[in-house]
């Protein structure tokens, strides 16, 4: 226990000496600790008595560089002015002075400040429109954007010499024009409106409940069939919308509408109609892998072998296609007839579902499309009526994750509920 007792005695001596020096004005903590150590430890390493006034203790205190005497002697040399002359800038007397970093000199010419010209505040759509006006676009494309006709029909009008630009007849569809600077006329009548009239509203997107007996085309099959009130067009169902547009924008043509994909004349159900050509291409092209759901109503109750045969696929237009899903709707929640089959396809080929059914020996009585991508046709939408899609519903169409997740589709509810 001898070493432990010696250590405790040293600690007690240091604490007592520090308390005794607490009243020394201006003495730092390091000075008090050094003086306490000098009073309690002899130069030979022995322990001094606490509070002793022996000569060795006093000599040790005088020799210690941080003793009060040494502090008083060096007061004149430790003033701020003296420290600045000596160069001490840190905690230690011989440390280097701290100076702020020097600013680097500029290399090369002075940079030119960017001036505000208005383009900085434009959104991407406005920038694209401005670039298109500056560079110009094909005359046939401009006519289609103005709502005159499709690009192919616009080219026929140009070749026929019926289109004038700034009073001059133009017969080349590739002629560059600007709808904001040039005056375009067809048969002497100035053309205005179309997509240019939409402005910041962007494109239009509709969902139509297609009835039976309507063609997904911009023109009828023939004048005779049109006269017999056959092969009516699905775009005729938007005539009330066109009338409202003309009243709201007098003297301007309404934007040209076209269908996203096609349904044959005897197929009913969900049909998308829009003015956005790029969005239409993404939805309709097979490379996007957007599933479409159909309900096949058979004349008789389908067997398991027939459903399995349909799931294996068949050849359509010279290519073997396989549906994503083929299921019987027997015992569906809507309580409908049991002789119905749910078919999901992504190819979108002409009469694909009907060919699949015929290959399995299923006699199709009715065919209805109920879903495109992640968007389902609302059950409360009457036949022959349409609704304007909201931005989030437009995004549902291209959402393949929502399209393949039945639980998410059920959770949406409301206008997105199932129609089975």
- Where does residue 319 rank: exposed (0-12), middle (13-18), buried (19+ CB within 10 A)? exposed
The CA-CA-CA angle for residues 195, 196, 198, to 5°, reads 65
The Cα–Cα gap between 155 and 336 comes to 50
Cβ-contact 175, 343 below 8 angstroms:
no
What are the Cα distances from residue 204, in Å, to 73, 277, 363? 92, 11, 38
Strand extents, DSSP E, 211-257: 214-215, 232-233
The Cα–Cα gap between 47 and 10 comes to 7
How many other C-beta atoms are found inside a 10 Å radius of the C-beta of residue 161? 10
| Residues recorded for the chain | 420
For 412-416, the CB contacts below 8 A with 24+ separation are: 414/378, 415/378, 415/380, 416/375, 416/376, 416/378
Nearest Cα residue to 293 out of 413, 357, 373, 365 = 373
The Cα–Cα gap between 418 and 333 comes to 10
264 is catalytic: yes
Cβ-contact 39, 48 below 8 angstroms:
yes
**Among the options 72, 236, 264, 410, which is catalytic?**
264
CA 48, 51, 57, 60 dihedral sign is positive
The Cα–Cα gap between 254 and 130 comes to 22
The Cα–Cα gap between 13 and 2 comes to 17
| Residues forming the active site | 264
């Amino acid at each position: 226990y001898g070493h432990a007792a010696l250590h405790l005695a040293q600690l007690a001596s240091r604490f007592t000496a520090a308390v005794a020096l607490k009243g020394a004005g201006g003495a730092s903590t390091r000075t008090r600790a050094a003086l306490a150590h000098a009073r309690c430890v002899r130069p030979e390493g022995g322990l001094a008595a606490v509070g002793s006034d022996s000569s060795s203790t006093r000599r040790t205190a005088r020799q210690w560089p941080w003793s009060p005497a040494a502090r008083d002697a060096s007061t004149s040399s430790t003033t701020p002015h003296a420290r600045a002359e000596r160069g001490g800038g840190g905690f230690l007397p011989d440390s280097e002075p701290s100076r702020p970093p020097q600013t680097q000199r500029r290399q090369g010419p002075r940079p030119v400040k960017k001036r505000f010209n208005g383009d900085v505040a434009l959104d991407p759509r406005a920038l694209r429109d401005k670039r298109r006006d500056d560079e110009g676009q094909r005359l046939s494309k401009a006519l289609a954007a103005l709502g005159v006709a499709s690009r192919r029909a616009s080219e026929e009008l140009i070749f026929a010499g019926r289109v004038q630009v700034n009073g001059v007849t133009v017969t080349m569809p590739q002629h560059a024009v600007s709808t904001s600077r040039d005056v375009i006329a067809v048969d002497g009548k100035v053309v205005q409106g179309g997509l240019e009239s939409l402005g910041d509203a962007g494109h239009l997107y509709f969902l139509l409940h297609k009835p039976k007996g309507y063609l997904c085309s911009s023109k009828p099959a023939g004048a005779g069939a049109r006269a017999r009130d056959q092969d009516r067009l699905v775009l005729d169902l938007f005539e009330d919308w066109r009338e409202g547009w003309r009243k709201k924008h007098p003297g301007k043509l309404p934007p040209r509408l076209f269908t996203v994909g096609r349904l044959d004349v005897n197929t009913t159900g969900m049909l998308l109609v829009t003015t956005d050509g790029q969005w239409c291409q993404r939805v309709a092209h097979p490379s996007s892998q957007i599933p479409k759901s159909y309900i096949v109503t058979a004349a008789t109750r389908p067997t398991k072998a027939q459903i399995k045969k349909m799931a294996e696929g068949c050849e359509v237009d010279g290519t073997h296609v396989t549906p994503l899903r083929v299921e019987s709707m027997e015992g569906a929640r809507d309580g409908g007839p049991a002789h119905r089959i749910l078919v999901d396809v992504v190819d979108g080929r002409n009469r694909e579902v009907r060919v699949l059914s015929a290959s399995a020996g299923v006699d199709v009585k009715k065919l209805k499309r109920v879903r495109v991508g992640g968007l389902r046709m609302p059950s409360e939408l009457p036949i022959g009526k349409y609704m304007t899609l909201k931005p989030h519903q437009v995004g549902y169409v291209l959402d393949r994750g929502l399209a393949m997740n039945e639980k998410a589709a059920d959770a949406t509810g409301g206008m997105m509920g199932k129609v089975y």
